[in-house]
């Protein structure tokens, strides 16, 4: 294994994406320092506590060439916190701005930020989202990620630090939580699911493909100053996803063709309208520019990604 010259700082190293990315980077010869809130037990780590505007980054950034910033307050469905926007802003907006400013001051060459497709919006119809779309975040999480992106561009313009932003849609893989985990459990149970008539289109990305793209952005000259959308390269309806999950689980899915309008009404009456939109609305991303500029393609097929997800 060839030792790479770039020294990396990885935040969020204990998280859903970060833990596997830390392993991938090590296997590819990168020297990685993990910035963590509590000991992770890896070769090189540094405790940084909570991430916010007051976090001290000087020691963590010493000798670093590139920052990969994954840490943040994750999006939570039906977040009940009264002042959700302030909570997201403290970590995702102010915390990112603080780290980026410290990185620029330390002379860091490149800053890779994993944002969210929620910066673009929640749903689309007809045309997939692109990196050039006017941002239209609809919730506190998306707003906080957009504010973080805006801070990064401002700092980059003032300092010359290279910035690269990645906006993934829903990320799945072993250990995934939320709606995706519940869907896997439902398919595994064999319960008939009422999504057979829903003809939506959704882009997803496996954690394997997202990690691969992040690594490509470390050294690619084309990554500097760009926003990249990412997916598995195949868009699916909710019924199509359920069918593929059934195949991966070895228990064929049972889909009932309930009219989408009736489904919407039932979800609304149950106080779960937003959940209906996330399951049955369309959210497509166009990754053509990502693939062309970075000479990249998703290395793991959606079926292989789903198989790995349900097998571990």
Nearest to 92, CA basis, from 127, 140, 126 = 140
Separation between Cα atoms, residue 98 and residue 89, nearest integer Å:
12
> Cα dihedral angle (154, 34, 170, 213), rounded to 10 degrees?
80
Separation between Cα atoms, residue 274 and residue 208, nearest integer Å:
28
Residue 276 neighbours by CB distance under 10 Å? 18
Sequence-distant (6+) residues with CB within 8 A of 213 are 166, 228, 230, 290, 294, 296
DSSP readout, 248-307?
HHTS---B----HHHHHHHHHHTT-HHHHHHHHS-B-B--HHHHHHHT---SS-HHHHHH
Active site residue 19: no
Cβ-based burial of 160 (10 A; exposed 0-12, middle 13-18, buried ≥19): exposed
Separation between Cα atoms, residue 210 and residue 215, nearest integer Å:
9
Give backbone dihedrals phi and psi of 72, rounded to 5 degrees, phi first. 175, 175
Query: In the block, which residue shows the tokens 């939506």?
Result: 200
19, 141, 172, 208: the catalytic one is 141
List Cα–Cα distances, 232 to 67, 82, 112, 263, in angstroms.
25, 35, 20, 28
Provide the 8-state DSSP code for 129: B
Residues involved in catalysis: 141
């Amino acid at each position: 294994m060839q030792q790479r010259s770039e020294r990396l700082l990885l935040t969020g190293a204990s998280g859903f994406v970060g833990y596997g990315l830390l392993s991938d980077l090590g296997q590819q010869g990168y020297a990685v320092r993990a910035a963590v809130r509590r000991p992770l037990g890896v070769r090189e780590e540094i405790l940084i506590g909570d991430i916010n505007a007051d976090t001290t980054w000087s020691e963590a950034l010493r000798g670093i060439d590139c920052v990969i910033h994954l840490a943040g307050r994750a999006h939570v469905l039906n977040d009940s916190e009264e002042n959700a926007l302030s909570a997201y802003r403290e970590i995702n907006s102010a915390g990112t701005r603080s780290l980026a400013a410290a990185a620029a001051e330390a002379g860091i060459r490149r800053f890779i930020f994993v944002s969210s497709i929620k910066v673009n919006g929640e749903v689309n119809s007809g045309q997939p989202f692109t990196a050039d779309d006017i941002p239209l975040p609809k919730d506190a999480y998306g707003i906080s990620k957009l504010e973080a992106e805006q801070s990064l561009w401002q700092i980059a313009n003032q300092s010359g630090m290279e910035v690269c932003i990645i906006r993934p849609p829903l990320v799945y893989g072993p250990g995934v939580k939320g709606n995706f985990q519940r869907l896997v459990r439902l398919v595994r149970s064999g319960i008939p699911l009422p999504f057979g008539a829903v003809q939506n289109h959704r882009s997803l990305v496996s954690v394997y493909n997202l990690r691969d793209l992040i690594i490509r952005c470390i050294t690619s000259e084309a990554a500097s100053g760009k926003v990249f959308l990412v997916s598995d390269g195949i868009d699916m309806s909710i019924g199509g996803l359920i069918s593929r999950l059934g195949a991966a689980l070895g228990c064929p899915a049972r889909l009932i063709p309930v009219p989408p309008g009736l489904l919407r009404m039932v979800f609304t009456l149950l106080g779960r309208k937003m959940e209906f939109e996330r399951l049955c609305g369309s959210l497509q991303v166009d990754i053509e520019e990502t693939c062309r500029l970075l000479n990249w393609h998703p290395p793991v097929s959606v079926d292989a990604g789903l198989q790995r997800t349900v097998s571990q």
